[in-house]
A and B are shown apart, each in its own frame.
Chain A
Amino acid sequence: MSILNIGLSGLTASQIALSVTAQNTANVNVDGYSRQEAQLASRYSNSFGPLDAGMGVGVTGLRRVADDYLTAQLWRVTSQQSYHEGFNQYIGQAEQLVSSDSLNISLGMDAFFASLDAASEQPQSIAPRQQVVSSAGALARRFNQLASSLQLQGTQLTGQIDASLSQINTYTRQIADLNAKIADLTARSGNTSQLEDQRDNAIKNLSKLTEVQVSRQADSTVTVSLGQGQPLVLGSVAAKMSRIDSDLSVDLAGQKFPISGNVGGTLGGLLDYRDDVLKPAQQTLDQIATQLADDFNTQLAAGTDINDPRGTGKPLFTYDPSNPAGSLAITAGYQPEDLAFGSAAAGVGDNSNLLALLAQKDGNYDAYTSLVGSLAIRSAQAQSELDASAQLVTEVQAKRDGVSGVNLEEENANMLKYLQSYQANAKVISTADQLFTTLLQMF
């Protein structure tokens, strides 16, 4: 009878191994699927007699082929890539904005100063004065449009930050739920492979949004925390990440943990772009607008216009100090005659104050040129970091897939192997049957 049993055990084991191959083959295109292996072991009889061949073969378990170290590495590099993606997405746009022909402040200043220069030969003539007023208006509009484009980026950023936070909370909830299921199934010795894949995927998605540290606990659950240590998932409990203005915090079971510094992932990239690039750029633009307007108005006030009667120069620019670049404009009702190009002592043909205005040309460009330069350098750096981190993700993903991914050729070979062993074991059973029949025929 033992031949029959041994054959049966081989048949069953081959069947299980075939179904594992089938499962692997079926999941070849599933992202994050870890292939499984049937682990076979010989079964020996308890008698251990000298002529006891053994009791066949058994499937001791299905192994989920995964390397925790590689998986963790994949999460980390994914975080880095997402950080750079988040950062790049906006800085790429910002550098295009500041250098575009229609928004470039430098080009607007070129036109404005050229119009002033053109007025110096006939300072009393209205047409060149009109040109100065209208090119000043055009320059102010460039400031307004650039400021509002950057403002719009700020709004989009806040929207995306909030969306990231709510996604983070969804994923931590998922991970906590999966933790509970896995702990339960592990206690009942079930196959947690599929649930673990799901959990790994959730963690991978989470690490796209923010950098996380993951540690596996004895009960097969994982503890997830931010890079700086604030807890996100403890067993079956998920934390909630939230924002008040620009302050982020994590709330776990009623306890609040403030977040500061680089949190990594898309969220980190967005926050860093907002704080390190966008806000300083907006401030620089505001400073340029303020300085230009103040310097000009001050110098104009030192001169005399060509109105009848002639008066002290009126300010050409106005702005709201709370939003200088966004609100820079020409003083309402400003007339070409209001421009104070001369001095009070001389006639309308005097251009001494105009020459003083022109002398301000040099001081007003540098801040903008260096803004464009620093954005360009920062963006180029961010792009190369993004390329490097994407390359790293590809490499680590390849390593992880090299271990856990499905190879169809391999599965095909396994299929043939287990098909053959199935057929061979069936033959063993039929041989056992023949033995029995032969014995029976003796009587």
Chain B
Amino acid sequence: MRVSTGQLQMTLLLGMQNGQNQYNTLMAQMASGSRILKPSDDALGSVRLLNLTRQQSSLSQYQDNIQQVKSSLSEEETQLNSVNQVLLRIRDLTLEAGNGAIGVEERQAINNEMSVLRDSLVDFANTKGEQGNYLFSGSQVDKPAVVKDATGHYVYQGDTLIREVNVSKGVTVKVNDTAQGLFFSGGNFFDQLSDFIDILNTATGDVNPDMQTALDQIDGVLASVTRTLTDIGGRQNMLDQLDSAHGDMLLYSKKLSTDISSLDYAKASIEANQVLLQLQSTQQAYLKLNNLSLFGQN
């Protein structure tokens, strides 16, 4: 085939341009550490990366949620443990008060302590979280759960709403428990306790039947507190499991992202050397060609 002079030059020039382009791409890949510089470098991979990023964002958020829920639950747990202690003391005092052998003065002393303990139970029911929200009021977080109304009766101001928080795809966990469930499910415990205290204050005869009633009521509340504590423990276990599952998933997802996007440096640097070699030989061929002309010989 006949080759024109311009064509020879053009072929070598194109070769050099191609070499430079390839080298440039390899350098950009090596500088960024990513094999995908633009989506079209790997269309499918880019879409998968987008989905993985979204998954990672969700998983991180779930993990954040879990930490938040766990700290709320342990706060509640601490409070309920204290409530448990107070209830046990009230139970002891109730038993002591029912003892026919004790006198009026002793009974009054018991009575005083029980009043203090009742008030502290009300305080526990009205515990505020770090955000100033009432923990046991359901969704009425801006209102104290238990207050005394104008007639001297205790009333629950909250509602029965249990807040759910997403902790995994399609999985929610209950974040709060209400004073309603704890203290009001078997009747109004605070009023019952107050009534018993009044009886202790005023009754002169046998208080044994009243004591039995009070004990039943106390045991009922103790049972619901214990049940709630167990439930919280269960929720925390579930959260721990989910947390570590999310952690594993996140690790796997990030590894997948890296596998899709990351550059094989060894391969890239070998390629870069090859391109460089090709570029150099094309340049030398170009130089030689320029010295090679019949016009130079005659």
Interface residues of A (CB under 8 A from B): 28-29, 92, 95-96, 98-99, 104, 106-107, 109-111, 113-114, 117-118, 120-125, 342, 346-351, 355, 358, 365, 369-370, 372-373, 375-377, 379-380, 383, 394, 397-398, 401-410, 412-413, 416
Cβ B131 vs Cβ A122 within 8 A: yes
Cβ B7 vs Cβ A405 within 8 A: yes
Interface residues of B (CB under 8 A from A): 1-7, 10-11, 14, 38-44, 46-47, 50-51, 53-54, 57-58, 60-62, 64-65, 68-69, 72, 129, 131, 133, 137-143, 158-159, 161, 163-166, 172, 175-176, 293-295, 298
Cβ A351 vs Cβ B68 within 8 A: no
Q: How far is B4's CA from A342's CA once the two chains are assembled, in angstroms?
A: 80
Cβ A347 vs Cβ B46 within 8 A: no
A95-B39, A401-B6 known; A355-B172 Cβ under 8 A:
yes
Cβ A408 vs Cβ B295 within 8 A: yes
The chain B residue with its CB closest to the CB of A377 is B43
Among A107, A372, A383, A402, point to the contact of B3 (Cβ < 8 A): A402
A349-B161, A405-B6, A408-B294 known; A376-B57 Cβ under 8 A:
no
Q: A350-B139, A376-B46, A398-B11 are in contact. List 14 more A-B contacts (CB 8 A).
A: A28-B5, A28-B6, A113-B61, A121-B65, A342-B139, A347-B138, A349-B163, A376-B43, A401-B7, A402-B2, A402-B7, A405-B6, A407-B2, A408-B5
Q: Closest CB-CB distance, B6 to chain A, in whole Å?
A: 5
Cβ A106 vs Cβ B4 within 8 A: no
Q: Closest CB-CB distance, A13 to chain B, in whole Å?
A: 22
Cβ B54 vs Cβ A125 within 8 A: no
Cβ B50 vs Cβ A106 within 8 A: yes
Scoring A120, A407, A416 by chain B CB atoms within 10 A of each residue's CB, the highest score goes to: A120
A376-B47, A408-B293 known; A120-B166 Cβ under 8 A:
yes
A121-B65, A123-B163 known; A99-B53 Cβ under 8 A:
no
Q: Which residues of B contact A110 (CB under 8 A)?
A: 53-54, 57
Among A124, A348, A369, A379, point to the contact of B50 (Cβ < 8 A): A369
Q: Closest CB-CB distance, A105 to chain B, in whole Å?
A: 10
Q: Which residues of B contact A394 (CB under 8 A)?
A: 14
Q: Which residues of A contact B42 (CB under 8 A)?
A: 376
Q: Which residues of A contact B172 (CB under 8 A)?
A: 355
Write 11 A-B pairs (CB below 8 A) sorted by A numbering.
Answer: A114-B61, A120-B166, A122-B131, A124-B131, A346-B159, A347-B139, A348-B140, A372-B50, A401-B10, A402-B3, A405-B5
Among A95, A351, A383, point to the contact of B163 (Cβ < 8 A): A351
Q: Which residues of B contact A349 (CB under 8 A)?
A: 133, 137-142, 161, 163, 176
Q: How far is B159's CA from A346's CA once the two chains are assembled, in angstroms?
A: 7
Q: Which residues of B contact A120 (CB under 8 A)?
A: 65, 163, 165-166
Q: How far is B66's CA from A24's CA once the two chains are assembled, in angstroms?
A: 82
The chain A residue with its CB closest to the CB of B5 is A408
Q: Closest CB-CB distance, A434 to chain B, in whole Å?
A: 30
Cβ A406 vs Cβ B69 within 8 A: no
Q: Which residues of A contact B138 (CB under 8 A)?
A: 346-347, 349
Among A95, A355, A379, A406, point to the contact of B166 (Cβ < 8 A): A355
Q: How far is B69's CA from A409's CA once the two chains are assembled, in angstroms?
A: 85
The chain A residue with its CB closest to the CB of B41 is A380
Q: How far is B22's CA from A289's CA once the two chains are assembled, in angstroms?
A: 39
A402-B2, A412-B294, A412-B295 known; A347-B141 Cβ under 8 A:
yes
Cβ A107 vs Cβ B53 within 8 A: yes
Q: Which residues of B contact A104 (CB under 8 A)?
A: 50
Interface of A is mostly: helix
Q: Closest CB-CB distance, A389 to chain B, in whole Å?
A: 14
Q: How far is B14's CA from A398's CA once the two chains are assembled, in angstroms?
A: 12
A346-B161, A402-B4 known; A121-B140 Cβ under 8 A:
no
Q: Which residues of B contact A125 (CB under 8 A)?
A: 131, 133
Q: How far is B64's CA from A28's CA once the two chains are assembled, in angstroms?
A: 72
Q: Which residues of A contact B57 (CB under 8 A)?
A: 110-111, 113-114
Q: Which residues of A contact B159 (CB under 8 A)?
A: 346-347
Among A347, A375, A403, point to the contact of B161 (Cβ < 8 A): A347
Cβ B65 vs Cβ A118 within 8 A: yes
Q: Closest CB-CB distance, A231 to chain B, in whole Å?
A: 34
Cβ A347 vs Cβ B140 within 8 A: yes
Q: How far is B6's CA from A403's CA once the two chains are assembled, in angstroms?
A: 12
Q: Closest CB-CB distance, A351 to chain B, in whole Å?
A: 6
Q: Closest CB-CB distance, B141 to chain A, in whole Å?
A: 3
Q: Closest CB-CB distance, B4 to chain A, in whole Å?
A: 3
The chain B residue with its CB closest to the CB of A378 is B40
Q: Which residues of B contact A408 (CB under 8 A)?
A: 5, 293-295
Q: How far is B163's CA from A350's CA once the two chains are assembled, in angstroms?
A: 6
Q: Closest CB-CB distance, A420 to chain B, in whole Å?
A: 12
Q: How far is B2's CA from A278's CA once the two chains are assembled, in angstroms?
A: 45
Q: How far is B2's CA from A355's CA once the two chains are assembled, in angstroms?
A: 76
Q: Which residues of B contact A409 (CB under 8 A)?
A: 5, 293-294
Q: Which residues of A contact B2 (CB under 8 A)?
A: 402-403, 407, 410
The chain B residue with its CB closest to the CB of A91 is B40
Q: Which residues of A contact B10 (CB under 8 A)?
A: 397, 401
Q: How far is B68's CA from A114's CA once the two chains are assembled, in angstroms?
A: 14
3 nearest A-B pairs in the assembled complex, by CB-CB distance: A405-B4, A376-B39, A347-B140
Q: How far is B131's CA from A188's CA once the two chains are assembled, in angstroms?
A: 101
Cβ A380 vs Cβ B4 within 8 A: no
Q: Closest CB-CB distance, B166 to chain A, in whole Å?
A: 6
Q: Which residues of B contact A416 (CB under 8 A)?
A: 298
Q: How far is B142's CA from A348's CA once the two chains are assembled, in angstroms?
A: 7
Q: Which residues of A contact B69 (CB under 8 A)?
A: 121
Q: Closest CB-CB distance, B178 to chain A, in whole Å?
A: 11
